[in-house]
Structure 1
Amino acid sequence: MNPIKTLVSTEQLAELAGIKPGSIAGLITRGTIPQPDAKVGKSSVWHIDTVTEWLDRRPGPGNAWADTLPAGNPEKAAEALSQWVTVKDIAEALETSPRNVTDRVARGTFPQPAGRIGRTLLWPKECLNA
């Protein structure tokens, strides 16, 4: 196995966690994110196993999905995610803007999301049929 393919950059880690890349350094300092496993030049990198273990047990909104999304199996995780819709999906179905959807949620005229991954709000696909 090529070890380069198993490394995750700061940008990739941020995307997976739903946070800004600039937040990573502070989170490492506070111990919220594991220390990098290595450096490539001046860039921090983590082994994919370190990242998936952390994502499965991380504090915050993302932790509720550890049992929902199969860890270590991208195909099954993608299949699990296909059962959910995002603000963008709902906006397209309602022929409106994503901002309008979030405003409706805030006013209570649209159902609250059932969960989230990082900053992405999720509803069951069935909510589009309601």
Structure 2
Amino acid sequence: MKLFAFLLVVLIGAASAFVSPSAFKGSALAAPRATRATSKVSATPVMLDTYWEGKAPPSEVLGPALAKAPSAGLGVVSLAAFAAGTYCIHETNILHTVSPDNIQPLYVAGALLVPISWGLHVASWIQKQNGK
């Protein structure tokens, strides 16, 4: 009975995701209406020009945080992330057969550091090419 009630609540919740908010207009379930301030700002988003000529793109393509980071710092962080990720992959796949009894979520999450280390490596290369 509890399972049936749970499934019923989940089904109603999933179905309500496809109902427009105007369907509840005038009912007790209607959300309070917020007022929107108007401004003279254009609704067109401003796009950053990412075209470049030469060997490497400008540092601005890395975003506000990584564009200010030095190349050596990004390289060290990339190497540390690769080492930690490789260790996690080694512990979960090579020495142990993964099963629900012995899986360790920390190692599974740590394995995600390998592709992150590649991105940091590329960011380090871009910063080095730009002299930072």
Q: Normalized against structure 2, the TM-score is what?
A: 0.29
Greater relative contact order (Cα < 8 A, sep 6+): 2
* Structure with max Cα Rg: 2
Q: Normalized against structure 1, the TM-score is what?
A: 0.29
